[in-house]
Each structure stands twice: as C-alpha cells, then as structure tokens.
Amino acid sequence: MTLSQVGAVEAAGAEPSAPAPPTADRSRRTAWITLGGILAALLALTALSLSVGAGEVGPGRVLDYLLDTDGARADSRLALVVGDLRLPRTLTALLVGAALGVAGAQLQAVTRNPLAETGLLGVNAGASLGVVLGIAVLGVQTSYGYLAFAFGGAVLASGLVLAIAGSRGGGSPMRLVLGGSAVGATFGGLTGVLIVNSPEAYDRYRVWVLGSLAGVEGWTTLGQLAPVLGVGFVVALLTTRPLSALALGDDLARGLGHRPGATRAAVALAVTLLTASAVALAGPISFLGLLAGFLARAAAGPRVGRLTLLAGLVGAAVLTGADVLARVVARPFEAPVSVIVALVGAPTLIAIVRSRKNAALGLTDTAPTESSGRSGHPEEKPPRPDVVIRRGALSVLLPRRSALAALGLAAALLAAVVVSAHAGQSELDLGSTFRAVFGYGDRLDVLLVQKFRLGRIVAGLAAGAALGLAGCLTQTLARNRLATPELLGVNDGATAAVLISVTATGAFGAWWAGPIGALVAVAVVTAVSGGLGARGYRVLVVGLAMSALASAIIQVAMARRSLSSASSLYVWTSGSLNGRDYEVATPVLIGLAVLVPVALVVARRLAVLRFDDNVASSLGVDPGRVRLACLLLAVALAGLAVGICGPVGFVALAAPVVAGRLAGPSRVPVLGSALVGAVLIVLADTLGRVLISGVEIPVGIVTTVLGGPFLLWVLLGRKGNPA
C-alpha cells in the first residue's frame, strides 16, 4: 500500500481500533505546528497588506480605524483608504487565494496527481474565455456578468479535464498536464479569435489577463460573489471524506458506502465555483493552486481534510504576500500579481519533478515509449519490403511506404499552394491560378500570384517545414510523441528574444533573435531537468513551467507598450504570416537546405535511440552525441520558424504524428514531417484568411484552436499508458 493509500484509509475511517503508530503522532504534531505557523504568517501578511499602499496611512492609523480609536472612522480620508480600498482588497486576496488553493487541492485529490492545478489543467483558460466572450461580444462589465460567463467556460474546461482523468486509466501526470495544456490552448485560441481584430477588447483584455487586485474598490463586487465562494467552500468541505475513500480506488470506495461518480461531480462543481469566482474577482492567476497543494501536502501528508485546509490557508497567504509585493516592487506602479505568483510557482513545479520523493507523489518518469513514427496499435500491418534501385555498382534502398507517403504529401503540398494562391482572388479560377504559380498565363495574373501571394506562401512553407522537422527530432529524441518544441519552452524563449530585440533596436523582424532565444530557453530547461532521454517526462514538465513564466513576462512587456504597438505585436505573438515575403523566408530556406540533409543523415542513428541506451551503444551509436546534435538541430529550426511567423502552436506536435502514420513505424519520418508541417501551415493560413469575410485570423490561432482537439485525440486514442 502506498503512502497516499495509507492516508486515505485513515481518513476514510478504516481500521478504527488500530493504535496510531509513532510516525502518525509525529505527523500529527508536525501538521499542528505547521498550521500554527501558517496562521501566524497569514495574520502578519494581512496586517502588512492593510498597512501598505497609497495614501501614506501607516499601521498606527490603520489600527486606530479598526478599533475606532477617538472616532477615527469619522475621518473621511482614513475611511476611504482603509475602509473602501485596503480592507476590501485584503479580504479579496485572502478569499481568492484560499479559493484557488482549495480548488488545486481538490483537483490533486480527485486525480491523485500532485501536478493538477486549475491553471495547468485549463480551467482558468475556460473561465477566461467566458469572461472575454462577455466583454468582447456583449460588453459585459458587471461582476455578476463576469461570473456567469466565467462559470460557463470553467464548467466546460473542468468537464473535459475530468473526462480525461477518468478515461482508460487516466490520472497519470503526463496525460493530465498535457490534456490540460490542450484544453487551455484551444480556449486560449478561441480567446484570440475574439480579441485579435478588436483593439478595444484587446486593450481591456491585456491588462485583465495579467491578474490584479488593483480594481477592488469597495464591497460591492466581493459582496456579490461571496455567496458563490461560500457555496464552493461548503461543497469542497463536504467532499473531503468521499475523496479520502476514492484514493483507494472506485471499488473500495463503493465498499465504504461512497459513490465515485457523485464524488467526482461534486468536486467538479466545487472547483468550478471557486475558480470562476476567483477569475471574476482577480483575473486568471496560474500556479497558485499547484503551489498551495504541494506545500500543504509536504506539511500535512496525504490526508484530504488536512490537505484541503492547509492548501486554502497557504493559498491565502501566498496571494496576500504576492499582492503586497506587487504594490511595492515597482512603485509608483503595480506589478501584475500573477507574475509574482509565477516567479514562485515555476520553481516549485520544477522542485516537484526533481524531488527524490517523486515515487511517493506519483511522479516517476515514464518508461520509454514508441517513437513519433509508431502508431502503437497492435493491428498495424507489417511494412512491405523496401525497393532496391541498382545502377551499375551503385544501389539505393528505397522504403516503399515512406516513398509513397512522400510523393502523396508532395502532391498535397502543391494542391495547398494552389488553393492558398487562389484564395481571395475570385476573378481567377483554379486552373489559371495553377498556371500562374509556375509563371504561365496572363501577365497580370502571374504578377498578382507570384508577387503578392507566393511570397507569403513560401514563408509559410519554410516555417511549417522547420516546425515539422523540429517536432520530429524532439519527439524521437525524448522517445515521446508528445514532446514538442513549444512544450520545451523553445517557442516562448524565442518569442521573448524577438520582443527584446524589438525594444532594443526599435525595428521588427530580427529573425536571428528567434534561434538565440530558443537556444537559451532549451539550455535552461535541459540543465534544470537534468537531461533528455530517460527523463523525457521531467523535461516536458520543466518546459511547461518555464513556458508559463516566460509567457507571463511576455504579457507584462505587451501591457507596457502603447495600444497600437501592442496590438500589432499581439498578432505576431499569436503566430502570423501577415506581411511575410521572400526576404523573410530566405534565412529559413537556407537553414532548411543545410539542416534537412543533416537531419536525414542523423535520422538513422536517431532511430536507434528509440531503444535503450545500452542497445544503442552496442550498435556503435554514441547516445550523448546524437542527442546533442538533434537538440541543436531542433532548436535552430524552431527558432528560425518563430523568427518568421511567431510562435505557431501544435504544428510541431501534429506533423510527426501524421507523417508517422503515413510512413509506418520502421522509419523516423524526417522528410514526411517537414512536408506535413508545410501543408498544415499553408492550409491554416488560408483558412484564417477566408473563414470570416473581411477579417484575418492569424495562422497561430487557427492551429491552436484545431491543435487542442488533436492533442486530446492523441491522448485519448492511445492504447496503454500515455506518454
């Protein structure tokens, strides 16, 4: 029986007559000491929050107001600063922090996964989408309006995540974290669709999305949402005992008189109420539920009741402290509270996956899985024999299935180019467009297609091929087909570097900044995680933490710029080919001309790494050198792609999977991944230009909206344990 199961049995009331062992007594004493320490820290932080802020009202005057010493509450200025500003803000921080802490602990308990958290699992993104939908479409500005739309989005997100957790033995860290990433990415893409062509909505969104308590003034908003928070806390309290039984498994929980389905539904309701209310009050604040749950687990052990209580107190303390720091670190301005929390939460997530107690927490690294080219389905037929082409003393071994797949993809790519060149040109039929692509037909038609259309298309082809090839290399390298550059922090690192270059040079389009930022990001991720290979799971989770931190910093940089500048940069950070041409695509085309042949040469040795390192060494392959070469190739390719069109998501994930299905499991689909990536980018860009008349949706938003369901399909469609 594992440690979590022991705690669940004790909490569920099993074996009541057995005396408590000495270790249980020590654990109980430690929990009480920790509780006292947290309460003391919480009181100190509450006092500090009431004493810090605008108005130059110190602790003495705050105490006078609270105690109404000498009629202090009659002082209008003191009543405004303390009674209308600091008190509501402090109480809001306490309640929102406690709500997110309890919600995180509840999700961790129901999924039996200490990485579960409302931000990582997409619940915050769902609530955010609901709020932005209300702002952009209906002009909602009231707290109840925010709550209604946040509630709907959170319900949808939590339902999807819990469906993943309960399907085919779900609940493993990789399935839940990546499934939540898929839900969050899809909802984030839909949010981008709503605001990308509305400067007014984006202006309100870019400040709100950072998370802040600065807008809390008076008691109206908190008074409206307090009943909803109260219901959420009560439901969470009522689920603690059933959750303890559920930790033993569904059958044992039923034997103890509980209903697992009803328990999960109650947890989903509690998490939804708490998260939706918190987002409506303070905006999306990620990592807080994870941080609170992890620290509470370390102090209180796996007992759900104590864990939930301590997680709520820790969440309240952390958010209150972060809000105090937000007021003082950048005076006279306020720093976004979500960034302060991320600065603490990201290292905590890294500490979780590096902890020696991973086995007890259920965070062991996954076993090596099949490469990105394997489908993993037992019913797949063995590949047909390869074809040998001989000419004199020379011979070439041509894999039949891979060659046919490459020819089919090349034809699909040509069709995608023609369709993209034709899109928006109603005066040209497809035949005329096809001839104009190759320079035949009417001179005006040729000029229109080749001058104004093909430049953008070539840029998309280059970026898509680079992303597809980078995804193939990282998936095969980590022996996990869910390992992609964006999940390794490459995209966000490259994006941050390009934005820094814009600030430094005053000009946009420094393609060279992308590879530099990508290299720095992946160097940090691999160094912190301890390497690739057998630690593929660890690398991915560290990459997620670094990506979240970099994303918060990017949002801060965007919020500091003027509206016109930030709007144009937001389109690029969403992934866009607008304004891209031959000149921008040339560096990537040169890079592909050099790197694709190198990748084809390395692919044979890379295929050996799909097996154990000992097997690879016995076959004469140096695993360390091959990994280093592939990592550098992937980073360079992904960085160049970001330099062209920004961080386009999910292409690097989908391209190798599709290419592997077409080419079969016997080969690393290097060339096929590049072709599929190019097709996906061109088709997504075309769809974004024609989907809504008069409105262009950036290609990155299109791929994100479609890529989230694709990732869920990969997760739910796999047989066996997910990567």
Full 3-state SS string of 212-256: CCCCCCCCHHHHHHHHHHHHHHHHHHHCHHHHHHHCCCHHHHHHC
CATH classification at residue 225: 1.10.3470.10
pLDDT at 623: 74
405, part of any domain:
no
The string of DSSP letters for 588-607 reads HHHHHHHHHHHHHHHHHHHH
Instruction: Give me 267's structure tokens.
Output: 């947890």
User: Do 348 and 420 share a domain, yes or no?
Assistant: no
pLDDT at 16: 34
441, part of any domain:
no
Token pair 């490259």 in the structure block, residue: 494
User: Do 345 and 420 share a domain, yes or no?
Assistant: no
Which of the residue ranges 294-298, 372-376, 571-575 would you say has the lowest mean pLDDT? Answer: 372-376
381, part of any domain:
no
Angle in degrees, CA 533, 536, 542, rounded to 5: 130
Mean pLDDT of the chain: 75
In angstroms, how far is CA 142 from the centroid of its own chain? 29
pLDDT confidence tier of residue 719, bands split at 50, 70 and 90:
very low
Q: What is the mean pLDDT of residues 660-675?
A: 81
By C-alpha distance, which of 240, 249, 292 is closest to 5?
249
pLDDT at 31: 67
User: Do 421 and 325 share a domain, yes or no?
Assistant: no
Q: What is the mean pLDDT of residues 560-565?
A: 70
In angstroms, how far is CA 48 from the centroid of its own chain? 33
Q: What is the mean pLDDT of residues 132-150?
A: 75
More confident residue, 234 or 668: 234
499, part of any domain:
yes
By C-alpha distance, which of 331, 290, 255 is closest to 103?
290
Single-letter amino acid, residue 33 = I
Q: Can you give the length of the chain in residues? A: 723
By C-alpha distance, which of 287, 185, 194, 268 is closest to 712?
185
Is the previous residue joined to 709 through a cis bond, with omega within 30 degrees of 0? no
pLDDT at 388: 59
User: Do 339 and 466 share a domain, yes or no?
Assistant: no
d(CA 122, CA 117): 8
d(CA 19, CA 23): 11
pLDDT at 95: 94
Q: Which residues contact 103 (CB under 8 A, 6 or more apart)?
A: 118, 123, 232, 236, 270, 271, 274, 275, 278, 289
Instruction: Give me 11's structure tokens.
Output: 């909490």
Helix (H, G, I), strand (E, B) or coil at 664: coil
User: Do 467 and 569 share a domain, yes or no?
Assistant: yes
pLDDT at 720: 42
List beta partners, residue 396.
389
Assess whether pLDDT exceeds 50 at residue 633: yes
pLDDT confidence tier of residue 361, bands split at 50, 70 and 90:
very low
User: Do 326 and 474 share a domain, yes or no?
Assistant: no
431, part of any domain:
no
pLDDT confidence tier of residue 1, bands split at 50, 70 and 90:
very low
Instruction: Give me 30's structure tokens.
Output: 């430690």
User: Do 252 and 156 share a domain, yes or no?
Assistant: yes
**pTM for the whole structure:** 0.73
By C-alpha distance, which of 715, 720, 360, 353 is closest to 540?
353
* Angle of helix 304-328 versus helix 288-300 axis, rounded to 10: 130
pLDDT at 493: 78
d(CA 655, CA 441): 34
In angstroms, how far is CA 6 from the centroid of its own chain? 33
Assess whether pLDDT exceeds 70 at residue 541: no
d(CA 146, CA 127): 9
d(CA 8, CA 288): 24
User: Do 268 and 141 share a domain, yes or no?
Assistant: yes
pLDDT at 307: 87
- Is the backbone of residue 479 left (phi > 0), alpha (psi -120 to 50) or beta? left
Helix (H, G, I), strand (E, B) or coil at 422: helix
Assess whether pLDDT exceeds 70 at residue 709: yes
User: Do 354 and 495 share a domain, yes or no?
Assistant: no
User: Do 357 and 420 share a domain, yes or no?
Assistant: no
448, part of any domain:
no
User: Do 172 and 294 share a domain, yes or no?
Assistant: yes
d(CA 240, CA 263): 9
List beta partners, residue 391.
394
d(CA 139, CA 349): 37
* Angle of helix 59-67 versus helix 22-51 axis, rounded to 10: 100
pLDDT confidence tier of residue 210, bands split at 50, 70 and 90:
confident
Which of the residue ranges 364-368, 660-664, 681-685 would you say has the lowest mean pLDDT? Answer: 364-368
By C-alpha distance, which of 110, 119, 240, 99 is closest to 164?
110
Tally of domains in the chain:
2
Range of the domain at 464: 414-425+458-717
Helix (H, G, I), strand (E, B) or coil at 440: coil
pLDDT tens-digit readout, 269-308: 888 889 888 888 888 887 788 888 878 887 777 788 888 8
Assess whether pLDDT exceeds 80 at residue 191: yes
Helix (H, G, I), strand (E, B) or coil at 395: strand
CB 319 within 8 A of CB 89: no
372, part of any domain:
no
Which of the residue ranges 409-413, 456-460, 501-505 would you say has the lowest mean pLDDT? Answer: 501-505
Whole-angstrom CA distances from 522 to 345, 490, 527, 589 are 19, 6, 8, 23
pLDDT at 101: 93
Neighbours of 419 (CB within 10 A): 16
d(CA 144, CA 134): 11
Which of the residue ranges 34-48, 132-146, 179-193, 294-308 would you say has the lowest mean pLDDT? Answer: 132-146
Q: Which residues contact 87 (CB under 8 A, 6 or more apart)?
A: 50
Assess whether pLDDT exceeds 80 at residue 241: yes
Phi, psi of 23 (to 5 degrees): -65, -35
d(CA 56, CA 66): 17
Q: Which residues contact 274 (CB under 8 A, 6 or more apart)?
A: 99, 100, 102, 103, 229, 232, 233, 236
Phi, psi of 504 (to 5 degrees): -75, -40
User: Do 593 and 491 share a domain, yes or no?
Assistant: yes
334, part of any domain:
yes
Assess whether pLDDT exceeds 90 at residue 135: no
pLDDT at 511: 59
pLDDT at 188: 83
Phi, psi of 391 (to 5 degrees): -145, 100
By CB neighbour count within 10 A (0-12 exposed, 13-18 middle, 19+ buried), where does 344 fall? middle
Alpha helices in 423-512 (DSSP H): 430-437, 443-447, 454-477, 490-505
More confident residue, 387 or 69: 69
pLDDT confidence tier of residue 100, bands split at 50, 70 and 90:
very high
pLDDT at 97: 94
Rg over alpha carbons for the chain, rounded to the nearest Å, is 27
By CB neighbour count within 10 A (0-12 exposed, 13-18 middle, 19+ buried), where does 242 fall? buried
Instruction: Give me 189's structure tokens.
Output: 């893409």
Assess whether pLDDT exceeds 70 at residue 679: yes
d(CA 633, CA 476): 13
